[in-house]
């Protein structure tokens, strides 16, 4: 009996030890739960990227080019650059000369109001060829008083996004419709025109107090902001 008791006790102890070993066995992680918890990656374009794609589709694209000169000259647009924007840089002090501006003419020789750069600062940019009702743009005419100048012509999609403050420049706008007030820090007159590729809009108009007040229509669109003062403009909601 004593022998049997010892055997049973040993067997019981062995079972307990084995049971303990089984309880400590490592458990493999469930990879399915971690995989499903990872958020899906998206490649949605930003508002600016969407506006750039719209600009390429609406106005076309081309390789930017630069022309330099002095005094009066003409820069003829290539066939693929009938819509775009140009940035002109003048020599300091050009504003003291009469007729120091640049402007765009149509293929028919008619002056295009949207393409004028007439600014007392040293640099300005303006979008052109955006209004299909006036026909294709033909060339930039630089006036005799401009002095030494440099002009870079670029596709619309290279425009920066419309900021909260800026200069005599062109921009892409991809936001929602909203009321806006554009004003210059030096009380100079501000002019704002918006283009959607179909027709230009004059929904923001100059006021007697030199601000420009109205509604910035929903983008995507191109916005030309022109001003008299060298001080930057700012925009805010009404």
Alpha helix (H) ranges present in 24-128?
Answer: 31-37, 47-59
pLDDT tens by residue, 172-210: 999 999 999 999 876 678 899 999 988 777 788 888 778
Domain with residue 141: its CATH number is 2.60.120
Paired with 87 in beta bridges are 125, 152
- Of 77, 83, 76, which Cα lies nearest the Cα of 55? 83
The chain-wide mean pLDDT, for the chain, equals: 83
Give the CB-side neighbour count of residue 101, counting CA atoms within 13 A.
14
Q: CA 165, 171, 174, 177: dihedral to nearest 10 degrees?
A: 60
How does residue 238 score in pLDDT terms, banded at 50, 70 and 90?
low
Residues 148 and 194: their CA atoms lie apart, in Å, by 31
pLDDT tens-digit map of 46-77: 999 999 999 999 999 999 999 999 999 999 99
Read off the pLDDT band of 1 (50, 70, 90): very low
* pLDDT value for 38: 56
The larger pLDDT score, comparing residue 49 to residue 26, is at 49
Reported as a pLDDT band with limits 50, 70 and 90, residue 124 is very high
Distance CA 81, CA 78 (A): 5
- On whether residue 132 sits in a domain, the answer given is yes
Which range marks the domain in which residue 163 is found? 159-238
3-state secondary structure of 37: helix
Same domain, 166 and 199: yes
Phi/psi of residue 33, nearest 5 degrees: -70, -40
Residues 150, 187: one domain? no
> Of 154, 170, 199, which residue is a domain's last?
154
- Share above pLDDT 90 across residues of the chain, in percent, rounded to a whole number: 55
18, 20, 33, 77, 231 from 25: Cα distances, Å: 11, 9, 21, 78, 75
- Please state, in angstroms and rounded to a whole number, the distance separating the CA atoms of residues 69 and 75: 10
Q: Quick one: pLDDT band at residue 227, thresholds 50, 70, 90?
A: confident
- Checking if the pLDDT of 36 tops 60, the result is no
pLDDT value of position 97: 78
Q: Is residue 140 part of a domain?
A: yes
Instruction: Check whether residue 190 and residue 171 sit in a common domain.
Output: yes
Domain count, the chain: 2
Q: Residue 211: its pLDDT value, please?
A: 87
Q: Do residues 127 and 183 both lie within one domain?
A: no
């Amino acid at each position: 009996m004593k022998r049997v008791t010892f055997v049973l006790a040993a067997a019981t102890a062995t079972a307990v030890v084995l049971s303990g070993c089984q309880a400590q066995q490592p458990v493999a992680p469930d990879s399915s739960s971690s995989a499903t918890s990872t958020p899906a990656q998206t490649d949605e374009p930003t508002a600016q990227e969407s506006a750039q794609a719209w600009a390429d589709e609406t106005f076309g694209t081309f390789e930017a080019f630069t022309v330099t000169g002095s005094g009066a000259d003409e820069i003829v647009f290539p066939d693929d650059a009938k819509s775009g924007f140009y940035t002109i840089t003048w020599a300091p002090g050009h504003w003291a000369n009469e007729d120091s501006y640049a402007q765009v003419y149509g293929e028919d020789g008619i002056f295009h109001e949207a393409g004028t750069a007439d600014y007392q600062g040293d640099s300005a940019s303006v979008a052109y060829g955006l209004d299909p009702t006036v026909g294709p743009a033909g060339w930039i005419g630089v006036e005799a008083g401009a002095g030494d100048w440099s002009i870079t012509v670029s596709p619309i999609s290279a425009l920066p996004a419309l900021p909260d403050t800026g200069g005599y420049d062109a921009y892409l706008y991809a936001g929602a419709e909203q009321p806006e007030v554009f004003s210059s820090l030096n009380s100079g007159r501000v002019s704002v025109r918006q283009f959607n590729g179909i027709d230009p809009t004059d929904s923001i108009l100059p006021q007697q107090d030199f601000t420009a007040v109205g509604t910035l229509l929903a983008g995507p669109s191109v916005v030309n902001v022109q001003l008299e003062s060298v001080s930057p403009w700012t925009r805010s909601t009404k």
